[in-house]
Amino acid sequence: MGKARPRCTLVSLLFLLYGHGIMMTKVEATSKVHIVYLGEKQHDDPILTTNSHLDMLASVVESKEMASELMVHSYKHGFSGFAAKLTESQVQKVAQLPGVVRVIPNSFHKLQTTRSWDFLGLSSHSPVNALHNSSMGDGVIIGIFDTGIWPESKAFSDEGLGPIPSRWKGACEPGKQFDPKIHCNRKIIGARWIIDGMLADYGQQLNTSGNQEFLSPRDANGHGTHLASTAAGAFVDNVSYKGLGLGTARGGAPRARLAIYKVCWSVFGGWCSAADVLKAFDEAIHDGVDVLSLSLGLPPPLFSDIDKRGGIDFGSFHAVAKGITVVCSAGNDGPSAQTVLNAAPWILSVAASTIDRAFPTAITLGNNKTFLGEAIFTGKEIGFRSLIYPEAKELNPKPPGACEYLSVNASMVAGKVVLCFTTVTVVPAAIVLSAAEVVKEAGGVGLIVAKNPSNDMYPCTNGFPCIEVDYEIGTRMLYYIRSTSFPVVKLSPSKTIVGKPVLAKVAHFSSRGPNSKSPAILKPDIAAPGVNILAAASPLDTFQDGGYVMHSGTSMAAPHVAGIVALLKAIHPDWSPAAIKSALVTTAWTNHPSGFPIFAEGSPQKLANPFDFGGGIANPNGAADPGLVYDMCTADYINYLCAMDYNITAISRLTGLPTVCPYEELSILDVNLPSITIPNLRNSTTLTRTVTNVGSSNSIYRAVIEPPFGTIVSVKPNVLVFNHKTKKINFTVTVTTAHQVNTGYLFGSITWTDGVHTVRSPLSVRTEILQPYISEN
């Protein structure tokens, strides 16, 4: 008889607080920051634990004074360990000390970069929605791990807010141009800056990188300010970006409180030390946050769930174990497959979508034909001017008409508008901005960029018009240029349209599944607005206008979901992170309210599937009343780790507790997720799920099955009857394939409905008759 699986109540992860100051001491050039993991903490007294860490390090570096200088962080909340700057020889000595489980090198995360809330059904003018039912998130505390905050922004006014929640244990830390007495209030209730890990490995003052930075919670980059205001910004009237998108700006949970953890710094465009990220988790858990929003991550290959170098997976496990929902961006490496980040099952990973808003920009040719491009062009109309395309004169691997290699001079383009074509599928903003600068410096008056269709845009500097069109329109313009001796064009300022006929899509840059680390775990989980999001900015952001700016990225999508989670937490304070994720996934939109399906940008554009947007685009009002949820606790995540066949010692390192996996073989397919992904179906497989009724006590749900093409799907039982005694019900799903060939993924769904609620789980199946690897058996 196998040992019983661990119960949720048996897992107890305790967290305490320890702070560490800025380390500016010069140390040996060959030393690097390493994280020393010691397993479960041995003391409840943080001072004793800190001293034990210093004593251990001192035994290697020969003095407690040197140990204090080398120590970067001491981790106290749920696991014991420290980060220190060590040479390779010191690493080897530390690794041999009694009690040391593992010593790993530090790693770095990169940043992932007001119509959206109305689009999501959270209009402030509607008296019946999740925004009002939650009192706008009042009392919920959202933690932001990013580049800090610009506290003077109107978005962070505390007008109308009550006292700071009494359970809050956090702090506002002083620093350069940041005075807690002035810059913290009843909205910004916590502000920490954590930099020791970055400084120790970077080895020089941050401002030498060429970017202004503040050794304080103040945001020089603007990324963190944008995210914080998106999640929980106050109402600010008459906000626009140079006249576009005019309206009232606010966050998803306007009455929620903000706790800022500045862990990312102006180094190479914005980097964050894993040692600092772990310390931020350590502090945030102790401080008492309810939700964490992280818009950062490491590109593939992904670290395993149990590898502390990843930082986010490791720290978020401990946060979720304490009931904190951790929301992360899914990454900006789409539309390629298997690029999704932050893929642990306890994390809520967010893809980016567009919204029902566009900025059409009229382009009128001399033949009186008008085309609509998209731009953020708010300057004066450019009357009819010459239109040129830089033709190649000879064979050239870098054609002059390609936007990436645009080659023009003043005699060629002065006073003219230039058309160029991109030669890459995914067009970074830098290509458009660079091409615009080339044209502008040569005396040109405008740029038209023909590219793969997508909706994310960046304004060019000083109102210079750079208008984006797709290849079809660009080609028609090129034919016009080649067909006339004197081609001319007129560029009109952009306009704002919302609602029909604009349909939301998954953004082309949004990273896609399947999950490269664990294909049976669907990632991303959900999608949310992340394209041309108007939110607060740092005045140092070169694109800001009146304290606000439009940015795009899954970075912008994650705080949308963090704001929604805050509303759900206010309505359902007893829901676990897994229940909240389930509510979002099973109620998400897969079609527009008009009935049209949601597409995903790419080459070509296609119908969106679960690897593009998980359950769909977040539906906050539906998630507030999902009917059923697929709940999980720490023990379930431990079973997942066992099913992944991770080393028992490594699992124990992650949990901070001795762990024993069950003798019976566990299947990843049985992890109680609100989705089902079968990456290697051969003939037939059966899996289990458990649903918990969070709706009316007496209710009956019936299964509605949409099987993937060529499969037979059955559910037993196919009717679930709940009453005041029966709150949870198990069911099995059997999927059988008729295919005798290897296929790509095919998609369907399993939906439970009681006539009021629709609880939909995406189903993804790939048939693999011939396995791509050789079994060890």
Cis peptide before 524 (omega within 30 of 0): yes
> What secondary structure letter does DSSP report for 239?
E
494 residue type, one letter: S
In this structure, what token pair is assigned to residue 673? Answer: 């997720």
Q: Which of 134, 511, 555, 582 is catalytic?
A: 555
Q: Where are the alpha helices (DSSP H) in 196-339?
A: 196-202, 223-232, 274-287, 312-321
Q: Which residue did the predictor score with more confidence, 229 or 769?
A: 229
Contact (CB, 8 A) for 36 and 94: yes
Contact (CB, 8 A) for 8 and 633: yes
pLDDT per position as a tens digit, 522-576:
999 999 999 989 999 999 988 888 899 988 899 999 999 999 999 999 999 999 9
Computed on alpha carbons and rounded to an integer, the radius of gyration of the chain in Å comes to: 27
Contact (CB, 8 A) for 731 and 720: yes
Q: Is 229 a catalytic residue?
A: no
Closest listed residue to residue 302, CA positions, set 506, 12, 519, 448: 519
Q: How far is residue 29's CA from residue 427's CA, in Å, rounded to a whole number?
A: 39
The label of the residue with tokens 């932050």 reads: 342
Q: How far is residue 20's CA from residue 256's CA, in Å, rounded to a whole number?
A: 28
Length of the chain as a residue count: 777
pLDDT at 153: 96
pLDDT per position as a tens digit, 627-648:
999 999 999 999 999 999 998 8
Q: What is the pTM of this model?
A: 0.86
Q: Is 118 a catalytic residue?
A: no
pLDDT at 395: 64
Closest listed residue to residue 533, CA positions, set 547, 515, 546, 551: 551
Contact (CB, 8 A) for 449 and 435: yes
Work out the average pLDDT over 10-28.
Answer: 28
Q: What is the mean pLDDT of the chain?
A: 87
Q: Which of 118, 138, 146, 456 is catalytic?
A: 146
Cβ-defined contacts of 174-182 (< 8 Å, 24+):
174/216, 175/214, 175/215, 175/216, 175/217, 175/218, 176/214, 176/215, 176/216, 176/218, 177/214, 177/216, 177/218, 178/151, 178/214, 178/216, 178/217, 178/218
Q: Which of 73, 223, 226, 739 is catalytic?
A: 223
pLDDT at 208: 53
Q: Is 237 a catalytic residue?
A: no
pLDDT per position as a tens digit, 425-449:
666 677 888 888 889 999 999 999 9
- Coil, helix or strand at residue 579: helix
Contact (CB, 8 A) for 143 and 284: yes
Most confident of 31-35, 48-52, 285-289, 455-459: 285-289
Contact (CB, 8 A) for 651 and 661: yes
pLDDT per position as a tens digit, 645-671:
998 888 887 887 788 898 888 999 999
Whole-angstrom CA distances from 587 to 135, 491, 583 are: 21, 43, 6
